[in-house]
Amino acid sequence: MTTVIQSLDTIREVIIAALRAHGADADNAAAVARTLVAAEADGCQTHGLFRVAGYCRSMASGKVNGAAKPSVTRLGPGAVRVNGDGGWSSLPLEASYDPLAEAAAETGVAAAAIVNMFHYAALWPEVEAMARRGYVALACTAYKPVVAPFGGNMPFYGTDPLAFAWPRGPHGSDTDPVVFDFATSAIARGEVQVAMRDGHQMAPGTGLDKNGNPTTDPAEILDGMMLPFGGYKGSLIMMMVELLCSSLIGEQFSFEAGETDVEDGGPARGGEFLLAIDPTRFAGDGWAEHGERFFARLGAIDGVHIPGDRRYQNRRQTPVDGCSVPLALWAEVEALAGHG
Amino acid sequence: MTTVIQSLDTIREVIIAALRAHGADADNAAAVARTLVAAEADGCQTHGLFRVAGYCRSMASGKVNGAAKPSVTRLGPGAVRVNGDGGWSSLPLEASYDPLAEAAAETGVAAAAIVNMFHYAALWPEVEAMARRGYVALACTAYKPVVAPFGGNMPFYGTDPLAFAWPRGPHGSDTDPVVFDFATSAIARGEVQVAMRDGHQMAPGTGLDKNGNPTTDPAEILDGMMLPFGGYKGSLIMMMVELLCSSLIGEQFSFEAGETDVEDGGPARGGEFLLAIDPTRFAGDGWAEHGERFFARLGAIDGVHIPGDRRYQNRRQTPVDGCSVPLALWAEVEALAGHG
């Protein structure tokens, strides 16, 4: 595959131009660009430039409000709601961080309900942001119905990502938080698409055909449904994610999003549940050192990696080396930006 | 296997007598008996009478304080700590429910850190108790190092159970909450013991021998280690559980419990993280009906069960039919009680 090397600044400029050309105002374009550039910087190509076309199509179809002005409401001492005004998730999420941190500092634990928005990004930015403020963070969101519950034979759950971050020290500490962020489906939809393109079979237990029969054929899975990670236990985690980011906070379940989405190639409207816990409140001052003893032992086990470390390594290196971008993708984003 | 039928009242009496004979005071014996009888009533034989011997041994060894007097501290508007005074989990958990509900009602979301106690029970009683008070609840606890992190070759995590409950209506509603509760290891230790007894092999991917090599031999797994459920994603969930119920709340990790426990056959000292969220605060009045639309669709999918339903069916039937108890187990508990 032919690739080109681009600087993060150049990537940011073309993303902003593409989003602006398809209806985003300056604030939303800048916020989405921060999300996408962060993904490229961390080496998460699936959540960077690759998504620009979906962002553009979803504004062009009239589904997503590119000029959204999110509003923040304090629902209680430990409860924050951010109404995304029908726009992208980046701006309302950024608007939630400080109010959520303030609430968690006052109470010990607080949650933000981010609703009426479209999430087309990874979840690690929000949990990392809260962990850098000194809070243990958990986040989840739903999607559209593409995963069958364990034992079932029809798509009902989304890919339903779940993310968690642990701060390596109190606010002001410069150590990178430990972060994980994964789809609670057995596989990501992109992995199935890549397997189909490359003529590979999927692993057994990852998907069903449209009649609910097990298959390893990626085309049949795309036409059918994926399965939860981890069998019945993973399926229960998916149920929990659906409840936390839908009826708990007053937003759509994946099955409801499947009924309302216009299928323009972008995400469906949804909600996000973002929890922040103050470890100092619960454990006192020794919590960070205690956590470090755990990670020292965990990281010393042969074959075990501390989650997030590879992304942080990429983050230090990409400003120096630039990002390697497939030429066809770069041409697509340039065209969306009206360049050349 | 020869069994005897016993009423729940008879089971309660013999449990209380056995615990009292081994050092439990009246309050602790009654609280532990409530936990164990609830397990028998729900058909969870692994967490009922089967555990009485471990409870007795752990008091006889001097490890567990049978006369513990838990104390409750409000650490903040949304933060409760219960110090278990070195006793069993039943009494401090019961002591946490009302303060935690009060905190969650005031703030929207609250958490309890239950520390300095010994958890030898299922986790569904505590999440169900909070859901019956109208709160969405999540709970987890650690154990001793018996599970290798994904990719690793030494035991480090516990079986690290995770439980969740969703209320089917506001406080006062008499509909049973949706509840799940499972070990985040691929299998429960009891399943391996039963397989060894019966001469069966375990499924691939459930355990490693003591050198860290994959095996399906239950004896080698017991001498070695189990694996997380769900591969690397399940291993990350286990990491999260360890952090939430250890350094977040100032209690032991599983690896630390492995260094301090006296190996008397009972559990190790540990902590529990118990979260309660008020859906009315976040979603307003429609949340329960919204949740019901989800469960109606989920339950209508062929082959899918709503978690907890089988336990509730047992709970309605055992007061009528009595519990079927293996004769050898009944004799053991009677002997512990000093009967006959």
Q: Exposed, middle or buried: residue A189 (CB in 10 Å: 0-12, 13-18, 19+)?
A: middle
CB contact under 8 A, B282 and A229: no
Residue of chain A whose alpha carbon sits nearest to that of B164: A240
Chain-centroid distance of CA A9 in Å reads 22
- Yes or no, beta carbons of A297 and B249 under 8 Å apart: no
pLDDT tens digits, one per residue of B226-242? 999 999 999 999 999 99
Alpha carbon distances (Å) from A105 to A94, A169, A279 = 18, 15, 10
B148 contacts on A by Cβ (under 8 Å): 301
Chain-chain contact of B164 with A255 (C-beta, under 8 angstroms):
no
Both structure tokens of B191? 């399943």
Mean pLDDT in order along chain B per 10 residues (340 residues): 95 98 98 97 93 96 97 98 98 98 98 97 96 97 96 97 93 88 92 90 95 96 97 98 98 95 87 98 95 97 94 96 95 92
> What's the CA gap between B17 and A335, in Å, rounded?
79
Which positions ≥6 away from B303 have C-beta within 8 Å? A151, A152, A153
Kindly list the strands in the beta sheet with A162-166, ordered across the sheet, starting from the edge strand earlier in the chain.
Answer: A71-76, A79-88, A109-118, A269-277, A136-141, A162-166, A178-182
* Contact in structure between B19 and B52 (CB atoms under 8 Å): yes
Nearest CA in chain B to A168: B247
Per-residue pLDDT tens over the stretch A236-265? 999 999 999 999 999 999 999 999 888 887
The answer to whether B158 and B195 are in contact (CB under 8 A) is no
Kindly give, in sequence order, each residue whose CB lies less than 8 Å from that of residue A262, ignoring residues fewer than 6 positions away: A61, A63
Mark yes or no for CB contact A287/B106 under 8 Å: no
Using only C-alpha atoms, chain B has a radius of gyration, in whole angstroms, of 20
Q: Are A107 and A276 contacting, i.e. CB atoms less than 8 angstroms apart?
A: no
Residue B129 φ then ψ, to 5°? -60, -40
Indicate the SS3 state at residue B71: strand
CB B140 within 8 A of CB A277: no
Indicate whether A172 pLDDT > 80: no
The owner of tokens 């260094």 is B259
Beta carbons of A154 and B286 less than 8 Å apart = no
Rounded to a whole number of angstroms, the distance from the CA of A151 to the nearest CA of chain B is 5
* Banded pLDDT at A141 (limits 50, 70, 90): very high
The reported pLDDT for the residue numbered A266 is 83
Q: Which residues pair with A72 in a beta bridge?
A: A82
Indicate the residue of B180, B242, B287 with minimum beta-carbon distance to A247.
B287
* Cα-Cα-Cα-Cα dihedral sign, residues B10, B11, B15, B16: negative
Q: Tell me how close the Cα of B250 comes to any Cα of chain A, in angstroms.
A: 4
* Chain B residues within an 8 Å CB radius of A302: 152-153, 212
Instruction: Give the separation between CA B187 and CA B195, rounded to whole angstroms.
Output: 11
Which chain B residue has the Cα nearest residue A114? B282
Burial of residue A324 (CB within 10 Å: 0-12, 13-18, 19+) is middle
* Pairing outcome for strands B3-6 and B323-326: antiparallel
The pLDDT, as a whole number, for residue A117 is 98
**Residue A302 gets which letter from DSSP?**
T
Could you tell me which residues come within 8 angstroms of residue A251 by beta carbon, excluding any fewer than 6 positions away? A113, A115, A116, A142, A245, A269, A270, A271
> Could you identify the residue written with the tokens 């429910």?
B97
Taking phi over 0 as left and psi of -120 to 50 as alpha, with beta for the rest, B243 belongs to alpha
Min distance B174 CA to chain A CA atoms (Å): 19
Mapped onto helix, strand or coil, the DSSP state of residue B99 is helix
Which SS3 state, helix, strand or coil, does residue A283 take?
helix
Of B249, B284, B301, the CB nearest to A282: B249
**Contact B78/A250, CB-based, under 8 Å?**
no
Q: Which two tokens stand for residue A70?
A: 């999110």
Q: Measure the CA–CA gap between B253 and B250, rounded to whole angstroms.
A: 9
Determine whether the interchain pair A234/B230 forms a contact, defined as Cβ–Cβ distance below 8 Å: yes
- The first and second tokens of residue B308, run together, are 């907890």
What residues in B contact A81, CB-CB < 8 Å?
282
Mean pLDDT in chain A?
A: 95
**Chain B residues near residue A237 by CB distance under 8 angstroms:** 237
Nearest to B111 among A182, A233, A277 (CB): A277
Residue B281 to chain A, least CA–CA distance (Å): 7
Q: Where are the alpha helices (DSSP H) in A66-156?
A: 90-107, 124-132
> A–B: how many Cβ contacts below 8 A?
224
List C-alpha distances in Å: B264 to A192, A250, B57, B60.
Answer: 49, 49, 6, 9
Distance CA B240, CA B154 (A): 18
User: Residues B185, B146: contact at Cβ < 8 Å?
Assistant: yes
β-pair partners for B118:
B88, B269
pTM above 0.80, yes or no: yes
Average pLDDT estimate for A120-130: 96
What order do you get walking across the sheet with B162-166 strand by strand? B71-76, B79-88, B109-118, B269-277, B136-141, B162-166, B178-182
How high is the pLDDT of residue B71? 98
Contacts of residue A182 in chain B, CB cutoff 8 Å? Answer: 233, 236
CA–CA distance, B202 with B147 (Å, rounded to integer)? 15
Report whether pLDDT(A340) > 80: no
A61-104: pLDDT as tens digits: 999 999 999 999 999 999 999 999 999 999 999 999 999 999 99
The answer to whether the CB of B141 falls within 8 A of the CB of B272 is yes
Nearest to A79 among B109, B275, B288 (CB): B109
